[in-house]
Chain A
């Protein structure tokens, strides 16, 4: 009895039993559940149920008209034998690593710099890093595809000025992965920088000042104060970047212009989400598409769990 909704009961005598009073007490008891119900209903209907249903649909040969035949794990055996699946899985992992690692390192460095007590124009810089976050993926993809174009792109023109041959960013496997990773990193690094900065601001400035007086240079302060203090939030951003990074869809779809769902002639940047969409909504194979969804789900969970365990272990060894 750590105090219920009506602390008034403690002070005032309980109201005389009457039908109206009983109804009111019942309503008071149920009120909190009413307040949290909308989220739980929405999540159950549009989040949890579809997720579980994906596992079910994956066991069928199922098309949108509703024809379905139970085929057990056939979709999965077919998927594991499908080179397009492995290609998409490889592309997804490659793009995820290429976007996440440089992005979070840059965010770490920028957060350290932005945390400086005497930085001028601090508000401007803090706002400017959030501009990419408010820019839509669709708009970003079109601009970046143009900037990175092989023949007419600004970047290749600049490379040409210093004598480097044009890079085929959209047509080649590595080029397209780098380009997509750049777009993802561009959009999210500022948001992560501010998350790190929020966490850094909880450390007192005296810690930095004391370290300075003891002769610690910029790098040593970064390495020994900033990075250790940020470990919990780093875990958080790695997990969220993983969940987002493994679901990349819009950038490769729009990158290839009208090319669409295969992302280029040899599927050079087709991610798992694009492959899922192609099979589910392009080929109308809901069962096979769902099997890809299950594979993606397992990947996200496994990678997030490995991240979590690794970072806990690193933290333990640091002490």
Chain B
């Protein structure tokens, strides 16, 4: 009896835990809320103290200005195209390679997988000048494929998919499929991929989010406003920062809303993906 009550007492969550979490939640959400406030008022109101805490009615006016200043709808579509291509590319190509590393036996497999893992620690972002030169040689400067093609697969993605495939698909299942005369390609598409589709989906989401939010590389490669991704369009709006803060905030808001909406729908799966991902142990 004393043990039971002892456990209950010790197992309780202390009040300061909730205080810490509540503070964290406010810190996470407030900047987005503030972005919304400023995006719906005007610069004068945004800089008033004490600050405005309810949204104003200026949103459509500001959004209209955003669309006049840069081709913003076009840049949202560009972002969508780039992020979707990279998300799908990640899901398929990394699953394919992960399948090979987890279930197929071939000479050099372990050495090649070690190479994949090692490339994760190579900071390739530092070599943007030669990367630009390559795009220039290919004639890809100021095109969206310059953003898409290099991001179609990643070492992390292969590592992630290999873990999932190794755990969720039994060797017996693959052998049985082979005995039934399925080719390697059929085994992958008909049997392995459907089983790991949830993991591939989450990986694709992470690819999508990072592509949507990428800045440095698009900033280097894209030149004409009609090719801008949403992030570069925000930068273009921000050049008129001193003129109208509300404009830059409206642009930021318009570029953030799609991702927040996506997160409301699939955020649970993203969290679950990190929690039972490749990091355990």
- Chain A residues with CB under 8 Å of chain B are 2-8, 11-12, 28-29, 31-33, 35-36, 38-40, 42-43, 45-51, 53-54, 57, 64, 109-110, 113-114, 116-121, 123-140, 142-144, 146-147, 149, 151-152, 154, 157, 186, 190-191, 194-195, 197-199, 201-202, 209, 212-213, 218, 232-233, 236, 239, 243, 246-247, 249-250, 253-254, 257-258, 273, 276-277, 280-281, 286, 289-290, 293, 296-297, 300, 304
Contacts and interface: CB of A to CB of B under 8 A. Distances in A.
B225 interface: no
Given A31-B185, A125-B24, A257-B242, A130 B215 contact: no
Contacts of A300: 123, 126
Contacts of A109: 20
B249 interface: yes
Given A140-B31, A147-B31, A273-B216, A293 B252 contact: no
Q: Chain B binding site: helix, strand, loop or mixed by DSSP? A: helix
A297 B109 contact: no
Contacts of B122: 47-48, 51
Interface string B105-131: 110010010001001011111111111
Given A38-B153, A50-B124, A123 B97 contact: no
A138 B242 contact: no
A204 B22 CA distance: 27
Given A198-B277, A249-B215, A289-B129, A35 B14 contact: no
B49 A51 contact: no
A138 B263 contact: no
A43 B131 contact: no
Closest 10 A/B residue pairs (Cβ): A152-B47, A139-B252, A50-B130, A46-B150, A35-B100, A212-B10, A53-B130, A50-B127, A136-B213, A32-B106
Given A38-B152, A142-B248, A136 B116 contact: no
B231 A136 contact: yes
Contacts of B248: 142
A273 B123 CA distance: 12
Contacts of B35: 139, 142-143
A152 B212 CA distance: 30
A46 B149 contact: yes
Given A32-B100, A57-B130, A194-B274, A110 B153 contact: no
B167 interface: no
Contacts of A157: 49-51
A26 to B, nearest CB: 13
Most buried by B among A36, A151, A202, A277: A36
B28 A128 contact: yes
28 contacts: A5-B104, A31-B184, A31-B185, A35-B100, A50-B134, A53-B133, A54-B129, A57-B130, A113-B20, A127-B268, A130-B271, A136-B212, A136-B255, A138-B235, A139-B35, A139-B256, A143-B38, A144-B31, A146-B249, A152-B46, A157-B50, A201-B275, A249-B216, A257-B238, A258-B241, A277-B220, A281-B132, A289-B129
B75 to A, nearest CB: 12
A281 B259 CA distance: 31
Contact of A120 (B13, B47, B178): B13
B262 to A, nearest CB: 8
A293 B128 contact: yes
Given A12-B179, A40-B112, A199-B280, 7 more contacts: A28-B184, A53-B133, A116-B17, A125-B25, A137-B215, A138-B252, A293-B129
Interface in B196-225: 209, 212-213, 215-216, 219-220
A48 B223 CA distance: 25
